[in-house]
Copies of this chain bind each other. A is one copy, B any other.
Amino acid sequence: MLNAYYVDMLGHKSVIRELSEYATERKRAVGEENVYDFSLGNPSVPAPDSFNEACIRLMKEEDSISLHGYSPSVGIYKVRKQVAESLERRFGIPYGPEHIFPTAGAAGAIAHALRAVTTPGDEVLVFAPYFPEYGPYVTGTGAKLVIAPARMEDFQLNLEAAEELISERTAAVLINSPNNPSGVVYTGETLEKLAGLLTRKSAEYGHEIFLVADEPYREIAFDNTPVPYTAKYYKNTLTCYSFSKSLSIPGERIGYVAVHPEAEGADILIQVFAQISRGIGHNCPSSLIMRAMGETVDDTSDLAVYERNMNLLYDCFTSLGFTVPRPGGTFYIMPKALEEDSVAFCRKALKYDLVFVPADGFGAPGYFRIAYCVTTEMVERAIPVIERFVREEYGK
């Protein structure tokens, strides 16, 4: 018999996917260039040449058996060292290879981090707006997802709500900055307050509450303002990273968990992750991709396009009178819809072949998400269409 839980999931297709499928159909009907598809977070710039070059060099120079052979269950030592040194250089935290665990992207990183610090029945707190996949990520571990409602005035962390929601059963808090869908970067002040709260609650309940920091957009930061590094504020932090966005290689499934050297269990967590891998059938990312990532750990694609696109869209929406938090990073922007029902708003936009995603599913009702990982040329062509849509539908 098929597992009813998973079969049931088939009935709940994500809104993003439905919209994206609709967009694909429309493209077939009216031509790719006539559909303004802002639905999907798929990087739109090529990987840096250095990444492919590293892959090719490894295949030409390395012995096949050692290059393509099994990796140790905790990942390849040299790569873990390359990541640790890069993090120490950039953020001043003395990571060693013993704190780095390579994974299949941030999804794999979060799967390991959450399982390591929760026990089925525990609670994991997330802050709206949040990436909807956190639902299956958390429930897949057997833990319970608890959602702090969004702080609508600036989409920073709603710590007042967290104060109420953190309980004895809270094992971990999962945050995402720069944030998908809002684009907002949590400030140092916000993270400091969060750290204070978690320290106090950990003492109150007699167990450490872990902070799982999901930071795949860390390298896409705007206005020359770097993204505060969460682990600097709270030692029980497991940093989950993906190279999907920085290197534009989401299909290659490569990322890591970095365990703060002073975290509870820092001496064994990497080994615990390796045990978790056995149970979920994920034994290390591809060895070739892992090695090439190690060689290019500090490189990035040309990410400037995202800031250009953000500025164009931010100016467009503000000049049209939208309420819109200014993104500090990512390739998302999240304006407030012009009517309470953002689904109705997005449906009207579809008539203009503008594909926006209602942010209700992200925990920001009344808002919508635009993924601007597209060409600047496409953004420029979309702006007059957006203006026409707003004028014709909302008289602005």
Interfacial residues, chain A to chain B (CB-CB below 8 A)? 1-7, 9-10, 42-47, 52, 55-56, 59, 63-65, 67-71, 103-105, 107-112, 115-119, 133, 136-137, 139-140, 171, 207-208, 244, 248-254, 264-265, 268-269, 271-272, 275-276, 278-289
Query: What distance in Å separates the Cβ of A166 from its nearest Cβ neighbour in chain B?
Result: 15
Q: For the A-B complex with A42-B69, A252-B287, A288-B288 known, give 7 more contacts whose Cβ atoms are closer than 8 Å.
A: A6-B276, A10-B275, A43-B65, A68-B248, A140-B279, A251-B284, A253-B286
Which one, B133, B265, B282, contacts A2 given CB within 8 A?
B265
In the complex, what residues of B have CB within 8 A of residue A45's CB? Answer: 65
So how many copies of this chain end up in the complex? 2
Q: Which residue of B lies closest to A273 (CB)?
A: B6
Cα distance, A71 to B105, chains bound together (Å) = 13
Query: What distance in Å separates the Cβ of A54 from its nearest Cβ neighbour in chain B?
Result: 10
Structural contact, A43 and B69, CB atoms closer than 8 A? yes
In the complex, what residues of B have CB within 8 A of residue A71's CB? Answer: 251
Do A253 and B285 contact each other (CB < 8 Å), given the known contacts A116-B2, A275-B10? yes
Cα distance, A280 to B281, chains bound together (Å) = 9
Give 17 CB contacts A-B under 8 Å.
A1-B119, A2-B264, A3-B115, A3-B116, A6-B115, A56-B59, A104-B283, A107-B278, A110-B281, A111-B280, A136-B275, A137-B278, A137-B281, A252-B286, A252-B287, A253-B287, A285-B286
Do A271 and B10 contact each other (CB < 8 Å), given the known contacts A68-B47, A70-B251, A104-B281? yes
Query: What distance in Å separates the Cβ of A305 from its nearest Cβ neighbour in chain B?
Result: 12
Which one, B208, B248, B289, contacts A288 given CB within 8 A?
B289
Structural contact, B281 and A107, CB atoms closer than 8 A? yes
Structural contact, B70 and A288, CB atoms closer than 8 A? no
Structural contact, B105 and A2, CB atoms closer than 8 A? no
In the complex, what residues of B have CB within 8 A of residue A139's CB? Answer: 279
Query: What distance in Å separates the Cβ of A300 from its nearest Cβ neighbour in chain B?
Result: 14
CB-based closest 10 A-B pairs: A111-B281, A140-B279, A251-B287, A46-B64, A136-B278, A286-B286, A68-B249, A280-B280, A9-B275, A107-B281
Do A2 and B104 contact each other (CB < 8 Å), given the known contacts A68-B252, A272-B7, A289-B288? no
Q: Which residue of B lies closest to A171 (CB)?
A: B1
Cα distance, A47 to B6, chains bound together (Å) = 37
Cα distance, A144 to B116, chains bound together (Å) = 22
Structural contact, A251 and B10, CB atoms closer than 8 A? no
Query: What distance in Å separates the Cβ of A126 from its nearest Cβ neighbour in chain B?
Result: 16
Q: Which residue of B lies closest to A65 (CB)?
A: B46
In the complex, what residues of B have CB within 8 A of residue A284's CB? Answer: 251, 253
Which one, B2, B65, B136, contacts A272 given CB within 8 A?
B2
In the complex, what residues of B have CB within 8 A of residue A68's CB? Answer: 47, 248-252
In the complex, what residues of B have CB within 8 A of residue A107's CB? Answer: 278, 281-283
